[in-house]
Structure 1
């Protein structure tokens, strides 16, 4: 309820678009820091997103893996019409677990002025960094945005080289043949004149090479595919059906998209811990300023119930039934998991009670087949057999057609 109250002012903009903006900034800047602020005049807790270029983290002395100091630092124009020293200032905000401070620094004069400071009322830094998942085998480096820039740069250079090759290969060359000595005079104001060609035969003609543009283009497209693989975007996801006569089915395209969808899902799920931490910190900050809740409770002790919907497309009923059959057979899932899939708001205990309630109702109605996995998946086996018969019929029909065409020839 407290979280809903805090994000209520964002309902005009929607909290989901705000989080999408955070994710987009994180993908581009490698980090998006979400600061949790509180306005004492309105008693409102709100968020501020800050690009990674303006953020610096210093490690703790006792544990270098943890953030000890947060520094937000950016240059801005004061609007003053005087000297550059008055016009250009740098705002520096510093947070650690004990204190905070805001300073103005003049890069030209080298002067530092304190604007405001105080004790940290939270005992923790009220900021959550959202960072994209790191790829272990990137081709050019760690940051994915650098990969994209490099790949695009190389691709553009290749197109430039191709353009030069085509231009050079398209130049017509004048070839002159003669039996005797020949003096060729070329001037801008007259045609080509041959001197001393009376005693022999002379000939002049243009030779225009074939630039092989399509072949060069094909080579470049192949190189593009390799670059896409280097940038960890599978080429089969981006490339179209090409010169095939028949378009691919939706199911085939879906199967080919599975690798990239799994990658997108992994990257999206990598923001889950940061979002959970944001909710916990926000609730704690609001409790401190409104004097509600337990003062001794740490923010990480606040229980949250955040669920992330998968980004991979749902399977059709037949595919889902086959998958469930295998997972139930090997104990990977149970009826409780299937009930929670149907209603994600249920806890495991509530799902168990719901199953028992449904089972009792069906027994009261005389429907004893409930819970019989063999009968539950009977239709699946029938679908498999029917699909097999249909496939065999199609193959036989194709063979008959080929044999008939052979007899006609």
Structure 2
């Protein structure tokens, strides 16, 4: 059960004016006094942030029929920032000494054993909403399912629910994790068939792994990794604190105010959409209200009129616009980023970067935080592979890595550089490919850029492999061109042998004579043996192949032709 993680969505509830989100669908897990003192404020912050992210903005419900408007800008801003940061993915680069082995292992762990795009989105969502992202690395042994299908072992990269995580850092070193507790509740079916609630706890240290079920120890074993396989990433670092800040913390109050004022405006509109009819000097019981009704016989001094809307809504609407603009300014998300109509233009990349400068500042800050976390995750991934699959240390040509002469055929697990990786983030803003290609072409023509560097600038994750692919394709093209020239020479020779006419642009072969000048052998105008380029005699070529080629040429030249009539089909206009 060490790898069992509950990804169930937390349930939400509104209690008075204070919104809380339960840690699990069953409510808050029981916390000791020390745990509540240390982690209580953090868990309350998580619950409020996720409640607003999931659209639970109200602490009460209005009567049926009354509008309760919710504009969930919190989710819109959080998702946009997440997509802006992780939408184009992340590439990993290792040191040159091991670049023929390590990149292939990381690609397998992220893209084969797991879904890289989904992992990055979950990590960004958890960090952007709660402020903290916890990722666990575990190994799932291979197994054979009930149908006999084998499943190889794989490395699991598991983004955890931050509310389930209770880390303990060294008192004098916030980067050193000395103990980690994973705690959550789940439903399970007992031996008697009844559904019961269980509390699962996993305690990880550098030396041991302990698992508890309802406070009862069910498993205790040594930690084969020797390190705690959990990485914590602070979304936005706070000096002096191990916890991070979310991307939406500052706009929750603004979003709540926006919804309340929008609901007030809706009430005003609804009130005057069905106006109140005021009657003076007459009895309403004798008057029938409705469309196309005519009232007559009213007293002379009677007055009947509707209560008109005398409220000027321009002020409240301007107030709403100010609140929304403030949310954009605080988060750095441009006002045109959420679907607002804007004229099409060919804005340059520099101008676009200036326009998105606030968003780029937030992007740079998040990139710095998550790059450090991803490097630690990659280190744990490699240690997991080297521990449970030692054969992965050896160079494997099937991974398409190119091994050079000075590179070792095996990874030294004691070498710290074997675990070092760099994160390369593609540009989040759109780039004009044609302008980029012209720039690269100019650099290469001046000798300022190499082919590998050009491929790297174009976003190629493995430039060495791409260069080899291009080289192999050029070799294949050369072989095909050579084969085409050889076939053409055979065809020309067959024509010359059949008709005695040399191909276009070629001189007729000189007649062969003996010492006295008498013709010897076949002469022009009849079948002649032909020598192909390179001194190869046509007669030396396999006779069946020549006969087959001759038959095909004769059929193409003089054989019957198929009818030109074609039946109409669905693709014919």
Secondary structure of the 1:34 match is strand
Q: Which of these residues, 138, 150, 168, is aligned with residue 37 of structure 1?
A: 138
Give the equivalent residue in structure 1 for 2:209. Answer: 100
Match of residue 133 from structure 1: 236
Q: 1:73 to 1:215 in 2, by over 3 A?
A: same
Q: Which residue of 2 aligns with 1:251?
A: 347
Pick from 166, 171, 174: which aligns with 2:278? 174
**CA deviation after TM superposition for structure 1 residue 48, in Å:** 2.4
Does 2:179 align with 1:72? no
Q: Distance in 1 between matches of 2:337 and 2:106?
A: 41
Tell me, which stretches of 5 or more residues in structure 1 are unaligned? Answer: 106-111, 177-181, 323-333, 348-409
Offset at 1:204? Answer: 1.0
TM-score (norm 2): 0.45
Mapping 1:18-167, distance limit 5 Å: 18-41=119-142, 42-80=152-190, 87-105=196-214, 112-134=215-237, 142-147=245-250, 149-167=252-270
Change (3 A) 1:146 1:80: farther
Write 1 or 2 for the structure with the bigger share of helix.
Answer: 1
Matched residue, 1:343: 456
Give SS of 1:143's match.
Answer: coil
Instruction: Indicate if the aligned counterparts of 1:72 and 1:94 stay in contact, CA closer than 8 A.
Output: yes
Is the 1:75–1:91 Cα contact (8 Å) retained in structure 2? yes
Instruction: Tell me the equivalent position of 2:323.
Output: 223
Partner of 1:76, secondary structure, is: strand
What do you get for the CA RMSD once the two structures are aligned? 4.5
Cα deviations by residue, 1:239-271 (Å, 9 ceiling, x for unpaired) = 7468xxxx3524188367422551463234531
The answer to whether the Cα contact below 8 Å between 2:232 and 2:373 also exists between their aligned partners in 1 is yes
Distance 2:288 2:312 in 1: 31
Contact kept, 8 Å, 1:261 with 1:311, in 2: the verdict is no
327, 332, 335: which one pairs with 1:235? 335
The CA deviation string for residues 182-231 of structure 1, in whole angstroms up to 9 with x for no partner, is 7x6554x6579xxxx98xx6241315234445664344333322333344
Cross-structure match for 1:288 = 387
What is the SS of the residue equivalent to 1:282?
A: helix
Per the TM alignment, residue 87 of structure 1 is displaced from its structure 2 partner at its CA by 1.0
Pairing partner for 2:421 from 294, 304, 311: 304
Matched residues in 2 for 1:312 and 1:46: separation? 31
Aligned equivalents of 1:135, 1:61: Cα separation in 2: 17
Q: Which protein has the larger Cα radius of gyration, Structure 1 or Structure 2? A: 2
On the 8 A contact 1:134/1:143 being kept in 2, the answer is no
Q: Which range moves more in the overlay, 119-128 or 67-76?
A: 119-128
Q: CA deviation at 1:115?
A: 1.6
- How many residues of Structure 1 are paired with residues of Structure 2 in the alignment? 311
**What is the alpha-carbon distance in structure 2 between the residues aligned to residue 295 and residue 142 of structure 1?**
36
